[in-house]
């Protein structure tokens, strides 16, 4: 059982810390897997809270509600992995 701690730095998710376990469906596990198991340099897209809330009610009309982060640090030991992802400016990833 690998415990996950996924921390965001900068952007709209600044200070957000997700906790979970590999194998249990959680936001922490999704971010961990989408970042290729927390590989340093790996980029991932995160929907804004606005996008998630809007999609729950209706179609999202503005496609630019995603935010890009890149893994900057990864530490693993004692059955636990800690990953830090830093916000990338909006110009990074536009058009992808």
Contact 83, 4 (CB under 8 A): yes
Hey, how many other C-beta atoms are within 10 angstroms of the C-beta on 2?
14
pLDDT of residue 57: 72
pLDDT band at 62 (very low <50, low <70, confident <90, very high): low
User: How far are the Cα atoms of 12, 63, 70, 87, 91 from residue 9, in angstroms, in the given order?
Assistant: 9, 23, 10, 6, 17
Helix (H, G, I), strand (E, B) or coil at 53: helix
Q: Count CA atoms within 13 Å of residue 42 on its CB side.
A: 15
pLDDT score recorded for residue 96: 46
Residues 2-26 pLDDT 10s = 999 999 999 989 999 999 999 998 9
Give residue limits of the domains in the chain: 3-87
Mean pLDDT of 67-78: 96
Read off the pLDDT band of 89 (50, 70, 90): confident
pTM comes to 0.78
């Amino acid at each position: 059982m690998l415990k996950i701690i996924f921390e965001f730095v900068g952007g709209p998710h600044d200070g957000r810390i997700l906790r979970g376990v590999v194998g249990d469906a959680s936001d922490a596990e999704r971010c961990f897997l989408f970042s290729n198991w927390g590989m340093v340099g790996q980029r991932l897209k995160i929907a804004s809270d606005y996008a998630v809330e809007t999609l729950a009610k209706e179609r999202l009309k503005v496609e630019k509600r995603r935010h890009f982060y890149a893994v900057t640090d990864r530490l693993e030991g004692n059955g636990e992995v800690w990953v830090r992802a830093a916000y990338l400016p909006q110009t990074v990833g536009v058009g992808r």
